[in-house]
Amino acid sequence: MKKLLLLLFFFLFTTQSLAKVGDTYWCSMTQFINLTVSEIEKQPLELFNFEREKEQIIFYSDGYFRGWSAPVTIQYNTEAAAEIFKGGTEGGGIFKYRDGSFGFNFFSPTRAHTILADCSIN
């Protein structure tokens, strides 16, 4: 029983210590697409950065994400130590990050935006 509790404590402690809360992520868009009812438009690619806090991400760059923040609703590390977190709001868009890859989607009845980006942590 002691070993099981010790193993459980170690797992929980390790998972929390692998999280990147407080880091700044620097990202470069690889795709930025705007879809409307009648057309698909490729948008100019942008550089952006955000800071990950425990319960939200905050964007500090100009451009599409200027001034936006969003709640982090799920975060975890896989057995292979992959860092994953995702979140957003229904009205503001949803995002997912996994080990250097960032994806964002915004949907409305007449328009959708999709962004894919490669990110590094500083």
Q: What Cα–Cα distance (Å) separates residue 41 from each residue in 24, 35, 72, 92?
A: 30, 6, 29, 20
Task: Give 76's pLDDT tier (boundaries 50, 70, 90).
Answer: confident
pTM of the model: 0.79
pLDDT higher than threshold 70 for residue 114: yes
- The residue assigned the tokens 């002691």 is 2
The CB density around residue 17, as the number of other CB atoms within 10 Å, is: 8
- What's the rounded Cα separation, in Å, for the pair 54 and 38? 40
- Using one digit for the tens of pLDDT, what is the confidence trace for 78-89? 777 688 999 999
Sequence spans of domains, the chain? 20-121
Mean pLDDT for 113-118 is 98
pLDDT tens profile 8-63: 344 444 333 344 789 999 999 999 999 999 999 999 999 999 999 989 999 999 99
Helix/strand/coil for 14: helix
pLDDT interval class at 122 (50, 70, 90):
confident
pLDDT for 23: 93
Distance CA 87, CA 19 (A): 15
